[in-house]
Copies of this chain bind each other. A is one copy, B any other.
């Protein structure tokens, strides 16, 4: 008999195929546990798969008395109450770096599309305005990438991959992180100092209480009127209301956003703007990164049921 694994968040079926081949899946599909399954069925669940952004607190853990492993599909684990898990002796695993290349690619895609006004350009061609020689103030030449100072906020695996890509565009790269890393980029001791220096801010920091609304009205103002902000991390890192105001008032020039404060909702004030590029949290959403993330989930599950430590354990969990 295969071991049972609870699937907590709502995942597309295609992403669960490989898990179902090896385990018996109980799929809550994003529903509350008490609504999804009778307590008796939950009683012997020892492992669960969840999405890192899904809230998973003490109350849910208490419905799973035999739970020994929470396995996050993806890099993030910000929804998991790590203290509650530790208190109950539950190991927490994730997929570190598995989607880093895809997420970094998304960051650079959003950066280039924002700086070079790709949405406006595509519309200018499709609408026939180009063919009709209709003047477009938005299509006047702007500063491009060469010689730009690009700041990376956070220097984990995704931040490093963003920095390596951005450096190939003949830019200067700097970063702010809690600690200095052995990387060939200029270190700034505060986010304020980084924002004063750079005109493009790439957010690659982990979500959490420490980083909530770290990118504030003040930080955006420091980027300047030719400034851009790109976020592929979590919506909570930016003060979204301040961002909408900065974009509307020309405090900064544009933004590229893959994540939002209240997903899947993006505020109307944001979706109405021409100087933003928006994507539906698809950062790590490529075939190859799903395979890599599934590899990590399976390695974690297999180790757990074999009685071994998780190979991809959340640090400090």
Q: B-contacting residues of A (Cβ < 8 Å)?
A: 12, 14, 101-102, 105-106, 108-110, 112-113, 116, 118-119, 121-122, 124-126, 128, 130-131, 133, 139-147, 164-165, 167-170, 264-266, 271, 277-280, 282, 285-290
- Given A101-B144, A168-B167, A170-B101, does the pair A130, B264 have CB atoms closer than 8 Å? yes
Task: Indicate if the CB atoms of B130 and A288 lie closer than 8 Å.
Answer: no
Task: Indicate if the CB atoms of B271 and A143 lie closer than 8 Å.
Answer: no
Q: Which residue of B lies closest to A279 (CB)?
A: B121
A99 to chain B, nearest CB (A): 10
Interfacial chain B residues near A145, Cβ < 8 Å: 101-102, 105
Interfacial chain B residues near A126, Cβ < 8 Å: 266, 271, 278
Task: Indicate if the CB atoms of A125 and B266 lie closer than 8 Å.
Answer: yes
A103 to chain B, nearest CB (A): 10
Interfacial chain B residues near A285, Cβ < 8 Å: 141
- Residue in B109, B113, B118, B168 whose beta carbon sits within 8 Å of that of A168 in the complex: B168
Interfacial chain B residues near A170, Cβ < 8 Å: 101
Interfacial chain B residues near A289, Cβ < 8 Å: 144, 146
A128 to chain B, nearest CB (A): 8
Task: Indicate if the CB atoms of A147 and B113 lie closer than 8 Å.
Answer: no
Give Cα A119 to B285, complex, Å: 15
Interfacial chain B residues near A108, Cβ < 8 Å: 112, 169
* Residue among A110, A143, A164, A288 with the highest chain B CB neighbour number at 10 A: A288
Q: Which residue of B lies closest to A110 (CB)?
A: B118
Give Cα A111 to B125, complex, Å: 17
| Additional pairs, 12, CB under 8 Å, beyond known A116-B282, A130-B264 | A109-B113, A109-B116, A121-B282, A122-B277, A122-B279, A125-B266, A126-B266, A130-B266, A130-B280, A146-B289, A164-B168, A167-B168
- Residue in B106, B113, B141 whose beta carbon sits within 8 Å of that of A286 in the complex: B141
Give Cα A112 to B103, complex, Å: 12
Give Cα A139 to B147, complex, Å: 34
Interfacial chain B residues near A144, Cβ < 8 Å: 101-102, 105, 286-289
Give Cα A113 to B14, complex, Å: 24
Interfacial chain B residues near A141, Cβ < 8 Å: 285-287, 290
A126 to chain B, nearest CB (A): 4
Interfacial chain B residues near A116, Cβ < 8 Å: 105-106, 109, 279, 282, 286
A169 to chain B, nearest CB (A): 6
Give Cα A14 to B265, complex, Å: 41
Interfacial chain B residues near A128, Cβ < 8 Å: 271
Give Cα A261 to B167, complex, Å: 33
Task: Indicate if the CB atoms of A124 and B288 lie closer than 8 Å.
Answer: no
